[in-house]
Structure 1
């Protein structure tokens, strides 16, 4: 049985200001409107029969967004979400996925590990590569996918191929090489013996766990303890498995490459001829957009005057450039990035500075996703904050209370069911209600269309942490 395991997380710091810690790269919409995670789900589903299962390993904070993307893809397969309380790199993630799959499908199930933030458009070639990898995995190999290089890239790791296996369908891995300098990368390309390390793998549960026991026993011991202490629920098409915070925190922070692939003698590589991009920078993303005659590209309403080799992306504003070249211009609701095209990799330095100064722009957008919908900060100042709140049909905010702020709610669209103290009432469009500080309250959408409302907060302290939850259908109550 083949089980795709999707690893979804990471901040995608080189794609700031669109990718942020609270809304990372897998949730980014590409120029065609689909997110990388949506495309990965569809790619995984293409490998499976309708009764198959797709496992997603992600942070607990990303569960509801990930589930929404899974359900929006309208797949027939079951979704199994393994939820990490904290980030611990790919070795713990893969180990926990393997134990989850073993519990449901046995030792001989084959895992296909796929990062959620890669773009592959040639799905037929991808499927053929998975078939070759699965055949090698069934003979006890840990298989990695190596992408045939097209340029001397210095931003990728490389795999050196050894002797051929399985009638040329794959090869033994002679060694893994970290990101090389340009001259070394050119030598690798010229030799024909090196492939880009894609970060995708295929192996049986039995082989993976056996090799972990041999080469990284501390990972396996921690994984077994964490699996036994963790709980899971089946909710229709979705399995939700919460990992024990105490046990998961005991894992070392280490990648599957370092923990196992570079140590095992059973590692093979399948050369993959499909198109592949890790969308690791704005340069990679801009390549998805058709250029004009001056090699300008726009994922926005843009005007280029005497401009060349420039990429513009904007959420909702017209961007005009005059007399410039070789620029990246990314406009979002609360931040603008202007960078030289050759310095695209250095965008992560901006994120580091923001994080060091505790600026919220490294973590959150002005529009923030929540399990029940979204909120957008429209304006804020001393003692006030104005938000636009959208609640999905049937969704509900927690029963909560604020110590330091009162709230005035105005319904713009739909109908709100409001709990305020001991009372419950329906608030229709163009009506309002007031929530004093210290009152228990809850907002629900009993209707079949989105509830849209404006919230005006007033008080001495308006931070998001001024909240006491008493009941919450999303497991967030204290």
Structure 2
């Protein structure tokens, strides 16, 4: 009988949450969302919905994943350690190669905050039922605002009409008014064999070279030389935007990819973190702070860096991270 396997994609450095999120401890492992990290919450959320767990990590973070799972008493799981991340198409292919053909994979990023467990469970069960019929399923979230930090899916019923990149404010507002656009959650569900068929059909080079790297792995670890031959492409571009098997589950649970300080601000404020009368917030220090002549701003303090930003510029923090990365100052 087929198994349902939660595949947690644990890569990424959370560059839009610098300086809180760093390469040595990315946002998914930070305990700033209560007493558990986003990675731990992801594992806990899916443990009763799935039979097995596989973590796709890399040489920089697999020990963080193991430590996080140990803290929540999960000791039965598989892991695949990438020598060099090659984006989500290859990462998911590795999980599919490790499973039986009819196993159903529930692909979940490790850095999403999800609330409303009953609605989440309903959505996952709907996706599993569609996957049993050989569909490739994506999860679309009903938007609550004209968000410019997310991609969108244009839908009609369970059918996907198209994918749209992160829009500007005006386009996002048009999407909301249209009523047939959903946020692209980056979560998927499908049979391992069906995914591999579609990957082989649309990206044969990614399929072939991922298979070579997978077959050459040493224990849990993939080899560097063979991994570097794999084209780096997202699963959206590789499969989702091309396959004719695609279905969408329209979901209404509370969701955020926690990809920016604006998202973190909203979460912290709802949970009682203080702001001043002008909507300014301090994160990371209890030192008394005053904002003079500044509105809707965030002060972020760590032991070795300070960031001051307007909330509306939250998506631009990635540019600072990349500049520091290039200058080797991080």
Name whichever structure is richer in helix by fraction.
2
Higher relative contact order (CA 8 A, sep 6+): 2
Q: Identify the residue that residue 347 of structure 1 maps to in structure 2.
A: 317
1:389-422 Cα offsets, whole Å, 9 max, x none, are xxxxxxxxxxxxxxxxxxxxxxxxxxxxxxxxxx
Deviation of the 1:183 alpha carbon: 2.3
- For the Cα contact (< 8 Å) 1:55–1:81, is it kept in 2? yes
- For the Cα contact (< 8 Å) 2:21–2:27, is it kept in 1? yes
Q: Identify the residue that residue 27 of structure 1 maps to in structure 2.
A: 29
Deviation of the 1:33 alpha carbon: 2.9
For residues 344 and 319 of structure 1, the distance between their equivalents in structure 2, rounded to whole angstroms, comes to 23
Deviation of the 1:290 alpha carbon: 3.5
Q: TM-score, normalised by structure 1?
A: 0.66
Instruction: Give the alignment partner of residue 79 of structure 2, picking from 66, 70, 81.
Output: 81
Unmatched 5+ stretches in structure 1: 165-170, 233-240, 363-478
Q: How does 1:72-471 map to 2 (within 5 A)?
A: 72-75=71-74, 78-101=76-99, 106-162=100-156, 164=157, 171-232=158-219, 241-290=220-269, 297-298=273-274, 307-315=277-285, 317-323=286-292, 324-359=294-329, 362=330
Q: Identify the residue that residue 68 of structure 2 maps to in structure 1.
A: 69
1:185-234 Cα offsets, whole Å, 9 max, x none, are 222212221111000000001110111121111111112211211132xx
- For the Cα contact (< 8 Å) 1:85–1:244, is it kept in 2? yes
- For the Cα contact (< 8 Å) 1:8–1:56, is it kept in 2? yes
Q: Identify the residue that residue 458 of structure 1 maps to in structure 2.
A: none
Instruction: Give the alignment partner of residue 6 of structure 2, picking from 4, 7, 13.
Output: 4
Q: How does 1:29-68 map to 2 (within 5 A)?
A: 29-48=31-50, 52-68=51-67
Unmatched 5+ stretches in structure 2: none
Structure-2 change in CA distance of 1:211 and 1:83 (3 Å): same
Matched residue SS, 2:137: strand
For residues 267 and 350 of structure 1, the distance between their equivalents in structure 2, rounded to whole angstroms, comes to 37
Matched residue SS, 1:151: coil
Structure-2 change in CA distance of 1:281 and 1:107 (3 Å): same
Matched residue SS, 2:61: helix
Matched residue SS, 1:111: strand
Matched residue SS, 2:22: coil
Provide the aligned length of Structure 1 versus Structure 2. 327
Deviation of the 1:322 alpha carbon: 4.3
Structure-2 change in CA distance of 1:184 and 1:325 (3 Å): closer
RMSD value, Cα:
1.8
Matched residue SS, 2:268: coil
Deviation of the 1:341 alpha carbon: 1.8
For residues 271 and 187 of structure 1, the distance between their equivalents in structure 2, rounded to whole angstroms, comes to 19
- For the Cα contact (< 8 Å) 1:327–1:340, is it kept in 2? yes
